[in-house]
Amino acid sequence: MNDTQYNLKIIVLAAGKSERFKAIKLVAQVKVVAQTSKKDQPQSTSLIQHVLQQILASLSVLNIEQSNLHVATGGFHQQISEVLGKQYSIINCPDAHLGLGHTIAQSVERILSIDNNTEIANSSHIMITLADQVALTTDDYIRLIEQSLSMPGKLICAKVGSELMPPVIFPQSYFNQLMNLTGDKGAKALLHQNKENLQEVLLANAAIDIDTQQDLINWHKSNTLPL
C-alpha cells in the first residue's frame, strides 16, 4: 500500500452475549484447512482466531501494520483474551451489554485516544467487521480495502443480494457519528442515511455467520473437512 495518507484501523466486534449459541461461540472450535508442502491438512481453531487470521493475511498482502487490528470484547473479555493471548490488541468495552452501538462507539473512541497519545499517523479510516463472519476470506477483505483505497472518501460496505452488511469501512468524516451510536442498532443506519456516498462490494461470504450450534454444524458440513 503506497498511500501514506491512508491509515486504516480495524475493529473486530467480539462483544456479543452468545445467547442463541448457548455457549461462548467465539471460542468454539471450527474446522479449517492448513496449507502444507504435501497436501491440505484439516485442523481446528477457535472461531475468532480463524476470522482474525483471514484479516491479518489481508493486512500482510496490503502492507498494513498488524497492530492496526483491534478486537472489541464485552462480557466474555477474559475468556476471549485467554484464547488470543498477547498477539492482538484487545479493547474491553464495559458498556457492551447495552448494545452494539455502545460497543462501536467505545471502540472508536479508544482508537482515536490511542492516536492522540502516540506519534503515529492518525487514523484515516476504520473498518468494522464481525468476529463470527466465518466464511469471509483473505481475498474478501482485500477487495474491500482496495476499494476503499481507490475511493477514500466513500463508505465501503459488503452487499449480499439487496442487503447491506459488514464489513464496513468508514472514512474519518464519519468517526463522530460512530462515537455517538447507542443501543442495539449498530452502524447500519449510517449506511442507509448516506447512500449517496456509499460504494457496495458484492461479497456472498458476508452472509454466513455463526449464531447457533446448528449454524456451526452446517458450516462444517458445507466445508466437508474431517477432523
- Compute the distance between CA of residue 196 and CA of residue 174 in angstroms, rounded to an integer: 14
The single residue listed with the C-alpha cell 477514500 is 152
Sheet order of strands, 155-160 included: 89-92, 69-73, 8-14, 125-130, 163-171, 155-160, 198-202
Residue that wins the pLDDT comparison between 120 and 141: 141
Task: Compute the Cα dihedral for 121, 146, 59, 49 and give only its sign.
Answer: positive
| Confidence grade of residue 119 (pLDDT, cut at 50, 70, 90) | low
Instruction: Over range 87-110, report the average pLDDT.
Output: 94
Q: How does pLDDT run across 160-191, given as a tens digit for each residue?
A: 999 999 999 999 999 999 999 998 878 888 99
- Compute the distance between CA of residue 24 and CA of residue 217 in angstroms, rounded to an integer: 15
Instruction: Over range 82-89, report the average pLDDT.
Output: 92
Does the pLDDT of residue 224 top 90, yes or no? no
For residue 33, the model assigns a pLDDT of 66
| Grid coordinates of 41 | 491438512
Q: Which domains does the chain have, with CATH numbers?
A: 8-223 (3.90.550.10)
In terms of Cα–Cα distance, which of 196, 193, 195, 140 is closest to 166? 140
| Grid coordinates of 183 | 443501543
The model carries a pTM of 0.92
For residue 38, the model assigns a pLDDT of 54
Of the chain, the percentage scoring pLDDT greater than 70 comes to 91
Cis bond upstream, residue 167 (ω within 30): yes
Contact yes or no for 143/201 (Cβ under 8 A): yes
For residue 225, the model assigns a pLDDT of 44
